[in-house]
Structure 1
Amino acid sequence: MRFLKKGDAVGLISCSDGWNSSDKPSLDYIVRVLSSLGLNVRIAETIFQLKNTPFSGSPIQRATELMKLFRDPEIRMIFDVSGGDSANQILPYLDYAAIQQSQAVFCGISDLTVVTNSLYSQCGHRSIHYRIKNLTGDCAAEQLNWFKAAFMKDGSIPAIDYHWLRGSQMSGVLIGGNLRCALKLAATRYFPDPTDKIILLESLGGGAARTATLLAQLDQADVFSKCSGILLGTFTTMEQSGAQPSVRKQILGITAPYQLPVAETSQIGHGEDAYGIEIGAMLHFSASANLQ
């Protein structure tokens, strides 16, 4: 499958907290990079923070701008540049029936985990756990090569490297993403059914105690007792600080009663070298080969 080809249109939007006006050079750079690939870039009206607010628009305004992109028949991918706290405000205002019919693929990480998982739970629409801003970081050249290989060539998104912490194989539709943000959907209609799913977990901030309490919430919500396995991405702050107990120890401990397969990858998360992975896709992981 090829997501993009020259001449296709892509959209940029902020569904979570808006960008500060000082971030405009980063936006301009992303536009230049995408344009250099022969893509037509369309920028939503909800990108930058409105005066005296952290938001790029009201929840309805942000949802309306997102739906404009989904309804545009020329747009093939939608890249959300934002992050923060407020993306779940838009969920009640999205037209999931229209999204189900759209060819556009939504991409975002961090707080956009609430959007990617809601698109899957409400209408089975696949998304990409991917951060377009990585095209502007220290690993920009490598990221551009990955972008072209993943989105502009025939085939599938390149397989990630991983190793096993427990078990040797697992299969299932991938859900989850950022640990803290995924749990915003708990006890709502937007939380995907975890039964027989692979749960992706990664995080930017938070120490050992915060991670422990969030994992406990997942366990108490019967996620670990129902899912088919865990894909553990990077936990940036914990890994940089050497916080103990490590997320690996915590995951293995809390899932021990279920003997869940647990695979770990350094290629999914908040790092500027991180790649993307498809939410809502059936994936297969095995010890014999790093195949999705």
Structure 2
Amino acid sequence: MWQSGDAIGFISCSNGLTNNDRSREIVAALSRKLKACFGLETVMSDVLFLNEVTQQTEAPASRAGALLSLYSNASVKAIFDLSGGDLANEILPYLDFGLIQKNPKPYFGYSDNSVIVNAIQAKTGIQNVLYNPKVLVSREEAFQTLALRDLFNSNEADWAGVFELGGNRAATQSSAVFAGGNLRCFLKLAGTPYWPELENKVLILESAGGRYEAMSSGLAQLEQLGAFDEISGLLIGQFTQIEKDGKRAAFLAVCRDYASRHGFPVWETAFIGHDDRSKPIRIG
């Protein structure tokens, strides 16, 4: 996928990282990790952290400009977004998708950056990756090093090994094309020019926060958008708050009800979510 000496760009398109020693050490450790294990250099965006004067996330136009600079930089072969939160959709009107399309490279992001992962794929056709790069320096470092190396070598994660719901055949996922990510954040794209084409795709859904009622409401919105008439399947990852509340079975029952009404299969996986064992998955 990349060669030794290539560079990875670090950026925060959502909420900027806090200006403290812990955040800076995570960034430094990730840079060291990429160099030691993959021979990759690092290019740091100037919007990675909160503004040191205002302690606020940099303005949307500034974040968009920084992202476009990484796309324009020929030495940068991929972009790792290290942020999360709420603000990723602010930058969409400021992006030059023509420039991005002329400089294709994968964007890796997670959580709120499901917005950017899906929007760029929808507007340019570039395949991006739903992934939180910071897990490479988590307690699951060895597991994630192997997962990223597999991605480099085009050895896709074994999504066919997921748990089947309602007797659906998981093996049909072997050639699947995926869309989606964090349910709350993905729905920010609804009704905008950045909403992706879902026909014949497997829709991924996961969430960290969000109780049963809020997430069930999100499923209803997807149905009302017509998404469930287009997708070829639904892949349900971790729903952390729902699981803490002991309501995962009830939520999965709601998913099965939509699947039954609209005629698509549903699968379940423990390897997409907000924990340190979440694997990278290609979008588009």
State TM-score, norm by structure 2. Answer: 0.92
Q: What residue is the counterpart of 2:157 in the other structure?
A: 158
Q: What residue is the counterpart of 2:112 in the other structure?
A: 111
Alignment of 1:141-220 (within 5 A): 141-151=142-152, 153=153, 155-160=154-159, 161-166=161-166, 167-168=168-169, 169=172, 172-220=176-224
Secondary structure of 1:211's aligned partner: helix
Q: Distance in 2 between matches of 1:129 and 1:244?
A: 22
Deviation per residue, 1:138-160 (Å, 9 max, x gap): 21121122222222x3x343333
Secondary structure of 2:235's aligned partner: strand
Q: How many residues align?
A: 275
Q: Distance in 1 between matches of 2:273 and 2:257?
A: 22
Deviation per residue, 1:239-272 (Å, 9 max, x gap): 2331265331121123321121111111111111
> What's the offset of the Cα at 1:47?
0.7
Q: Distance in 1 between matches of 2:145 and 2:176?
A: 29
Q: What residue is the counterpart of 1:289 in the other structure?
A: none
Deviation per residue, 1:119-172 (Å, 9 max, x gap): 111111110001101012221121122222222x3x343333312213223565
Secondary structure of 2:244's aligned partner: helix
Which protein is richer in helix relative to its size? 2
Secondary structure of 1:35's aligned partner: helix
Q: Is the 8 A contact 1:238 1:246 kept in 2?
A: no
Specify the code of the residue in structure 2 equivalent to 1:214: G
> What's the offset of the Cα at 1:200?
0.7
State TM-score, norm by structure 1. Answer: 0.89
Q: What residue is the counterpart of 1:225 in the other structure?
A: 229
Secondary structure of 2:31's aligned partner: helix
> What's the offset of the Cα at 1:13?
0.4
Q: What residue is the counterpart of 1:5 in the other structure?
A: 3
Structure 2 gap ranges (5+): none
Secondary structure of 2:238's aligned partner: strand
Specify the code of the residue in structure 2 equivalent to 1:254: Y
Deviation per residue, 1:30-74 (Å, 9 max, x gap): 11111213111000001111244541x111110111011111112
Secondary structure of 1:148's aligned partner: helix
Secondary structure of 2:177's aligned partner: strand
Q: What residue is the counterpart of 1:18 in the other structure?
A: 16
Structure 1 counterpart of 2:280, from 276, 279, 283 = 276
Q: Distance in 2 between matches of 1:183 and 1:13?
A: 23
Specify the code of the residue in structure 2 equivalent to 1:256: S
Specify the code of the residue in structure 2 equivalent to 1:159: D
> What's the offset of the Cα at 1:4?
1.8
Q: Distance in 1 between matches of 2:43 and 2:147?
A: 22
Q: Is the 8 A contact 2:115 2:188 kept in 1?
A: yes
Matched, 1:260 2:281: no
RMSD across aligned positions (CA):
1.6
Matched, 1:33 2:33: yes
> What's the offset of the Cα at 1:99?
1.3
> What's the offset of the Cα at 1:276?
0.6
Q: Distance in 2 between matches of 1:54 and 1:191?
A: 28
Specify the code of the residue in structure 1 equivalent to 2:24: K
Q: Is the 8 A contact 1:138 1:272 kept in 2?
A: yes
Matched, 1:247 2:256: no
Specify the code of the residue in structure 2 equivalent to 1:33: K
Q: Distance in 2 between matches of 1:245 and 1:35?
A: 43
Q: Is the 8 A contact 2:104 2:126 kept in 1?
A: no
Q: Distance in 1 between matches of 2:18 and 2:101?
A: 32
Specify the code of the residue in structure 2 equivalent to 1:106: Y
> What's the offset of the Cα at 1:21?
1.0
Q: What residue is the counterpart of 1:94 in the other structure?
A: 95
Specify the code of the residue in structure 2 equivalent to 1:199: L
Q: What residue is the counterpart of 1:283 in the other structure?
A: none
Secondary structure of 1:246's aligned partner: helix
Q: What residue is the counterpart of 2:84 in the other structure?
A: 83
Q: Distance in 2 between matches of 1:259 and 1:54?
A: 46
Structure 1 gap ranges (5+): 281-292
